[in-house]
């Protein structure tokens, strides 16, 4: 008697059904994650947005724009340029032109160039943004796809805070929020304790990171571990089609800025690293923290990330909603994902 025959008839039947499911049926293909990208392009934003456009794991429902690396209107022009380069039809919704309460900071044109794209002198885009403002577009799009949309936040978080004010039930409908910004252990780039995306609108960041929803912060501590070298850029230029050449050309100004401040072994891939987290979170480790942002005084823009000891015991942090923060990154894994996606031409012509 075969071994199978010694198994009771009922169990035998379920075993055969299980074998059929595992061995015969094709594995279900992973559905692409629906994302809205809130962005202030920006050189590293361009790298992140093109990475998203080319990733088979993401479906881009729209771009929303924000001040930061450039003024909001130029961010919108640059977002339209990126969409047109991709050959895709993706709506661009213009966002807030200033922070919720703070005076707006001047764009850092010494980092990204006056045009946000390394002063490469591009022609104007042919398209226009949709009439709907960014916050309303975010609300409408998220509510139309309950539990499916991830918000990828690559600049100051004003639009997301405004969307939360427009629709208080938004947190129950959003799948996830992934935001780039903040520093925990490393030194800030715009103050000793603050990074540009957070100081750009600290009140908005405090609202977004302090809301009880599935939010992950990808801080500078993580993104500064992923460095783009000249050799990497040359490979993107040589194997990434016209978009690869564009990304190479706009990155030179940005690279030179980082060189001037001592980062000689490559520039930081801030926004692409956050996008890589959305595409493949297995490249990261996260920690559960309760996060708030300082909104006044000399420490304005500082991200404070309490550990369990603080938020689970009586005290000022007790009961603050928990967020995730990336704590470790497989840097080479992120770079490999970036290079593969930006140079992949199988089945399509690299633009």
| Contacting residue, 45, 71, 167, 221, with Ca ion by CB under 5 A | 45
Nearest to 272 by CA among 119, 73, 54, 68: 54
Q: What is the CA radius of gyration of the chain?
A: 22
Pick the piece of the chain touching Ca ion (CB under 5 A) from 1-9, 155-163, 170-178, 312-320. 155-163
Listed in sequence order, the DSSP H helices in the chain are 9-19, 43-54, 72-86, 109-112, 134-144, 158-166, 170-173, 196-199, 202-210, 220-223, 230-239, 241-260, 270-279, 308-311, 331-343
What residues contact 344, with CB distance under 8 A and at least 6 apart?
54, 350
Is there a contact between 285 and 328 (Cβ–Cβ < 8 Å)?
Answer: yes
Nearer to Ca ion, 42 or 95 (CB): 42
The count of residues interacting with Ca ion (CB under 5 A) is: 6
Nearer to Ca ion, 157 or 290 (CB): 157
Q: Does position 116 bind Ca ion by CB under 5 A?
A: no
What residues contact 33, with CB distance under 8 A and at least 6 apart?
57, 58, 59, 150, 175, 278, 279
Minimum distance from residue 13 beta carbon to Ca ion (Å): 56
Q: Does position 154 bind Ca ion by CB under 5 A?
A: yes
The active-site residue out of 112, 201, 270, 271 is 270
Nearer to Ca ion, 42 or 113 (CB): 42
Minimum distance from residue 156 beta carbon to Ca ion (Å): 9
Pick the piece of the chain touching Ca ion (CB under 5 A) from 134-142, 153-161, 252-260, 316-324. 153-161
Nearest to 65 by CA among 145, 132, 112: 132
* Residue 40 is a catalytic residue: yes
Nearer to Ca ion, 161 or 306 (CB): 161
Alpha-carbon distances, residue 46 vs 79, 83, 275, 322 (angstroms)? 8, 10, 11, 30
Cα–Cα dist 23/289, whole Å:
41
Minimum distance from residue 184 beta carbon to Ca ion (Å): 19
Residue 39's DSSP bridge partners are 65
Q: Does position 75 bind Ca ion by CB under 5 A?
A: no
Minimum distance from residue 39 beta carbon to Ca ion (Å): 6
Minimum distance from residue 89 beta carbon to Ca ion (Å): 23
Nearest to 92 by CA among 104, 103, 83, 102: 83
Residue 190, exposed/middle/buried by CB under 10 A (0-12, 13-18, 19+)? middle
Minimum distance from residue 272 beta carbon to Ca ion (Å): 10
| Contacting residue, 91, 95, 125, 155, with Ca ion by CB under 5 A | 155
Is there a contact between 317 and 306 (Cβ–Cβ < 8 Å)?
Answer: yes
Nearer to Ca ion, 167 or 271 (CB): 271
Minimum distance from residue 310 beta carbon to Ca ion (Å): 30
* Residue 265 is a catalytic residue: no
The active-site residue out of 40, 44, 206, 271 is 40
Pick the piece of the chain touching Ca ion (CB under 5 A) from 15-23, 143-151, 263-271, 343-351. 263-271
| Contacting residue, 42, 95, 125, 301, with Ca ion by CB under 5 A | 42
Pick the piece of the chain touching Ca ion (CB under 5 A) from 253-261, 267-275, 314-322, 342-350. 267-275
Nearer to Ca ion, 108 or 321 (CB): 108
Pick the piece of the chain touching Ca ion (CB under 5 A) from 9-17, 104-112, 119-127, 146-154. 146-154
Q: Is 151 helix (H, G, I), strand (E, B) or coil?
A: strand
Cα angle 34, 322, 300; round to 5 = 95
**Closest residue to Ca ion in the complex (CB):** 154
Q: Which residues bind Ca ion (CB under 5 A)?
A: 40, 42, 45, 154-155, 271
Which are the catalytic amino acids? 40, 270
């Amino acid at each position: 008697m075969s071994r199978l025959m010694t198994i009771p008839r009922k169990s035998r039947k379920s075993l055969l059904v299980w074998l059929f499911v595992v061995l015969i049926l094709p594995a279900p293909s992973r559905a692409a994650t629906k994302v809205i990208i809130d962005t202030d392009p920006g050189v590293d934003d361009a790298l992140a947005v093109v990475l998203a456009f080319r990733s088979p794991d993401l479906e881009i429902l729209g771009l929303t724009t924000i001040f930061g690396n450039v003024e909001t209107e130029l961010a919108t022009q640059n977002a339209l340029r990126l969409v047109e380069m991709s050959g895709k039809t993706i709506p661009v919704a213009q966002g807030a032109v200033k922070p919720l309460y703070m005076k707006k900071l001047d764009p850092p044109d010494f980092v990204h160039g006056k045009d946000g794209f390394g002063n490469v002198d591009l022609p104007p885009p042919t398209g226009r943004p949709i009439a709907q403002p960014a916050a309303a577009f975010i609300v409408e799009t998220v509510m139309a796809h309950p539990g499916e949309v991830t918000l990828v936040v690559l600049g100051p978080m004003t639009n997301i805070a405004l969307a939360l004010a427009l629709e208080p039930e938004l947190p129950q409908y959003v799948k996830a929020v992934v935001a780039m910004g903040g520093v925990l252990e490393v030194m800030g780039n715009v103050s000793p304790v603050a990074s540009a995306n957070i100081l750009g609108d600290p009140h908005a960041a405090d609202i977004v990171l302090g809301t009880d929803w599935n939010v992950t912060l990808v801080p500078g501590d993580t993104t500064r571990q992923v460095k783009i070298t000249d050799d990497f850029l040359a490979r993107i230029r040589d194997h990434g089609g016209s978009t690869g050449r564009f990304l190479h050309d706009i990155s030179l100004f940005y690279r030179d800025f980082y060189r001037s401040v001592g980062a000689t072994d490559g520039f930081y891939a801030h926004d692409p690293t956050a996008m890589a987290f959305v595409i493949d979170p297995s490249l990261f480790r996260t920690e559960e923290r309760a996060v708030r942002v300082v909104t006044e005084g000399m420490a304005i823009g500082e991200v404070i990330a309490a550990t369990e000891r603080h938020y689970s015991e009586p005290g000022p942090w007790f009961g603050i909603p928990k967020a995730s923060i990336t704590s470790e990154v497989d840097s080479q894994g992120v770079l490999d994902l970036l290079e593969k996606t930006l140079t992949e031409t199988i089945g399509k012509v690299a633009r």
